[in-house]
Amino acid sequence: MGVVNMKKVLIADDEFLVRLGLKTTIDWEENGFLIVGEAKNGKEAVELFEKFYPDILLTDIRMPVIDGLELIQILKEKKSTLKAVILSHYDDFNYAREAIKLGASEYILKSDLSSENLLAVLRKLSSELDSSAESLRLNKTDDLPHNNEEFLERLLEKITDGSVNSKQDLNSCIGKYEHLFRYDSFAFIYGVMEDIQSTSPDRGEELFDRNIRNIAEQVFEGKELICKLSIHKNIVTGMVNLPGSACKEDTIESLHNTCLVLKKYIKQFLDIEISIGMSDISPSKDRLLDLFQQAKAAHRYCFFEESGIVDFREEMLIKKGSCPGINLEILTRYVKTREANKINLYIDEVFDELFRLKQVEYVKDVFIDFLSYAKIIAKELNLKNGPALSEIKFSYSNFDNLYSFHAVKKYLMDIFCTMVDYTGESKSNSYSFIINKSVEFVKQNYHKNIALADAAEYVEISKSYLSLLFKQETGINFTAFLTNYRVEMAKKLLISSNHKIYEIAEKVGFENPYYFSKVFRDIAGMTCKDYKKNYYLKQSYDSDFT
């Protein structure tokens, strides 16, 4: 391959052994890549970039002078098509996520670095660069699929958006492109991601979705499967084309295990919990619509299963029993007599029956009934509407933010126990016990590398449940609360000490001083230096008039 066709690669890492390892891991030129430079810090990387204008950047996050986050931001402004690959340790996960927001394309854990996965990432990025260049020359009116992956993607979109909803539509859509299926068997997966707004409040939709796709692509291709995804808000739908097997049970088990790996990696790299329903596996293309419905039906059962991965079974389509009723008189009596234990026992009895029936629709009906009665009782007893018992707590839409059977039951128990606490007492300005404990956790640990998951573990509830309660009672999500508190502590240090900016950043929980400075400016409306200067000017002004 001629040098002119090679993709130019720039390496930036302050560890000599890492740079050496990268250079010797693969035969670069043989695989179509040319290392044009290596830098031991971000400043050198910017200088080499200006000289060689590379296509791909391999960079560490932690580097002196200019770190990896700032480097990506600088270079992406100079060349928007630059592909950036983060090389990180597991402990750098939060930085890796920040780098993705700034435009990084891929990330590789240094502990997992090998010739195989490095070359796979490089080839993928090279293909994307070629595709971008080629797309400029393609006729935009050409609507024909060019390969099996594009065909699968278009077919999936039509099934998920409902434009294909009959076998006749399906056969018409597949038509003459049937030969583009690589394998002879099919399945669907249907996943729901928990609380993505709270986990990544300022995430870019395109970057987030792309990284979900990147993770899925690596997981499924590693098992020689083709899976195309459709992502809409927090719903992930996947159509899988896979080789058939003499033993169908083995194929189902293999796909199930692949979904477990997908769930694990999404949690590990994006800090997002996802539950996945998996359809049956069929050798018939005519059953694609049925498989899609099976995956959705299987996912409804994830609500009752802690594993988060559920395979379809025929009985899932059969509605069982009738929805249990709720007794308003019993609830009112227990709240008036302040018997929280009896309320919990009563809720337990109702939910034992709901668990036996395993019908999500019944659980939602019961949730609405309990909240309706709670509102009636609260009004009758004239309970104060403080943060722990505000109007939003009684909203039926809260059900959509409770991702498991146990979370729904706990939410109702917490509501009624809070009402018991409020009976005969004035707590109009107090948070609930859980949120008070979470706020105290922040105040005691803000200087450490903590996140929502740590607070949730401390108060012994799920991360998504704490996220919901925190937003309800404080009005902002946990991450924003933590960041605001850190900035307030930083302000105190700025005016009460002579610490340097990077020292203050570390003392309030920011390991990256550049990111700290950016966050401080966004919240305070000025730089750290200007804040300190303005404070002393005001002090001086006030003293002149006293």
Mean of pLDDT values over 517-541: 86
**Mean pLDDT for the stretch of residues 26-39:** 88
For range 113-119, the mean pLDDT? 83
Higher pLDDT pick, 392 / 98: 392
Three-state secondary-structure class, residue 107? strand
All residues at 6 or more sequence positions from 199 whose CB lies less than 8 Å from its CB, including other chains: 270, 271, 272, 452, 467, 479
Residue 51 vs residue 212, higher pLDDT: 212
Amino acid type, 439:
V
Contact (Cβ atoms closer than 8 angstroms) between residue 471 and residue 457:
no
Alpha-carbon gap, residue 323 to 544, rounded angstroms: 74
Measured from the Cβ of residue 161, the count of other Cβ atoms closer than 10 Å reads: 11
- The pLDDT confidence band at residue 140, using thresholds 50, 70 and 90, is very low
If you write DSSP's letter for every residue of 45-90 in order, what string do you get? Answer: HHHHHHHH--SEEEEES--SSS-HHHHHHHHHHH-TT-EEEEEE-G
User: Could you tell me which residue, 258 or 65, shows the higher pLDDT?
Assistant: 258
pLDDT at position 74 is: 86
pLDDT tens digits, one per residue of 160-187: 988 888 888 888 888 777 777 888 899 9
Give the best-scoring range by mean pLDDT among 31-40, 108-117, 137-146, 288-297: 288-297
Determine the Cα–Cα distance for residues 342 and 413; give it in Å rounded to an integer: 11
Identify the weakest region by mean pLDDT among 74-78, 109-113, 299-303: 109-113
pLDDT of the residue at 202: 44
pTM over 0.75: no
Alpha-carbon distance 463 to 173, whole Å? 42
CA 225 to chain centre: 24
Q: What is the pLDDT of residue 136?
A: 43
Reported as type and span, the H/E element at residue 11 is: strand 7-12
Q: Is 312 exposed, middle or buried (0-12, 13-18, 19+ CB in 10 A)?
A: buried
More confident residue, 398 or 99: 398
* Token digits of residue 436: 């008070």
Mean pLDDT, residues 26-44 taken together: 88
pLDDT tens digits for 359-388? 999 999 999 999 999 999 998 988 866 788
The number of beta carbons lying within 10 Å of the beta carbon of residue 345 is 11
User: What pLDDT score does 261 carry?
Assistant: 93
pLDDT digits (tens, 9 = 90+) for 449-498: 999 999 999 999 988 899 999 999 999 999 999 999 999 999 999 999 99
**pLDDT value at position 139?**
37
More confident residue, 148 or 305: 305
Report the C-alpha gap between 198 and 451 in whole angstroms: 11
pLDDT > 70? residue 5:
no
CA distances from 206 to 30, 123, 202, 211 (A): 33, 21, 12, 9
Q: pLDDT tens digits for 248-276?
A: 888 899 999 999 999 999 988 888 899 99
